[in-house]
Each structure stands twice: as C-alpha cells, then as structure tokens.
Amino acid sequence: MPKKSKNIYGKYSKERLQEAVEKYRNGHMTLRQSSVAYNIPRSTISDHALNKISNVTAGKPPVIPAVVEKEMEQKCIEASEMGLGLNKIQLMHKAGQTCKALKIITSFKKGIPSYDWFRGLQCRNPSLTVRKPVKLSSSRALLDKKNVKIISTYWAKLCKRMIFMTQI
C-alpha cells in the first residue's frame, strides 16, 4: 500500500527544473553543481537535458477517469451546499457504487476504494476538503420519523401549489 513518503522526489517546481537544465546545458554549471544548487536529483536533470523524459508523472494512473472524478466532485460540492456533506467512508462507498454502475474495472477490495485512493482524490481535486461534523441542534435532533413525514407532505403540497401557480 502506498503511504505518505518523506522523499525529495518531485518536491521542486517545473520552473526550477527548467532553470537547472538550462544552466547545465549552457555550461554555466556542472551537473553536480546544478543538482546541489536547485536540490534536484542529478539523474532528473540529466534525463531532461538529454530529452529522455516526456511529461511522465509518478505513480499509477487514476483508476476512475478524470471526467467521472470531476463529476463526483461537483456532486459532493452541490450536496454540501444543501447541507448534506459526505464523510470519507461515504464518499468511498459512493465511488465504489459509481464504478460498479459504470462498469469500470478496478482493483478495489470488496469494490470499495482505500484511504490511499481518497488521498489521491484530494490531491487531484483540491476543492474537496474534510470538515469536522458539527453537533446537531436540539431542534434538528427532534426530527423523528413522524416529523419527517409531516415535513415531507408539507413540501409535496408546496411543490404542487408552486406548479399550479406557474400554470396560471
């Protein structure tokens, strides 16, 4: 299982890498000097200077396509705006259900993504954040099945009235 690592690989910007490669190519610095000055591995600078690398990213590609992940992100944001936030486990279950519905072949155990997948999702979609749940107020806690039924019938009647009013 991939875990958070404390290595230096990939801890530099593209601009710094390009600058280090240019200094090395132009002869202003040796490979070792540019590596030390910019804190970038020598092999990385060498590979980029010799054009051995072409936009390669580290790690496995995401299991769920980017389009589906963006749609999931939008749905989560919409739900949170309505006051129906999802926690990690709920989101992972929803992702598993989405993969099953779209017939996406995954390596998820029991069809549910792991916490590592969730961490990767957060890196790819920084607008998704985890917030601490807030305790319910006493008025919201009093909602039981009877009250929910009363409220749902009220909303149904209200919707019918709104449709009737728009038809006039």
- Tell me: the pLDDT tens digits for 89-98? 888 888 888 8
Rounded mean pLDDT, 65-80: 83
Least-confidence region, from 21-25, 70-74, 112-116, 127-131 = 127-131
Q: How many Å apart are CA 157 and CA 128, to the nearest integer?
A: 35
Stronger pLDDT, 68 or 33, i.e. the higher one? 33
pLDDT at 104 (0 to 100): 81
The residue type of 11 is K
User: Residue 44: pLDDT band by 50, 70, 90 thresholds?
Assistant: confident
Ranges of each domain in the chain: 1-59, 66-124
User: Residue 22: pLDDT band by 50, 70, 90 thresholds?
Assistant: very high
The number of beta carbons lying within 10 Å of the beta carbon of residue 123 is 9
Is residue 67 pLDDT above 80, yes or no? yes
Rounded mean pLDDT, 19-40: 90
> What does each C-alpha distance from 35 to 15, 25, 26, 38 come to in angstroms?
14, 13, 15, 6
Q: How many Å apart are CA 96 and CA 68, to the nearest integer?
A: 12
Whole-model pTM: value is 0.50
Radius of gyration of the chain (CA): 25
Is residue 8 pLDDT above 60, yes or no? no
- Tell me: the pLDDT tens digits for 109-143? 888 888 888 888 888 888 888 776 666 666 665 66
Is residue 100 pLDDT above 90, yes or no? no
Residue 144 backbone phi and psi in degrees, to 5: -110, -175
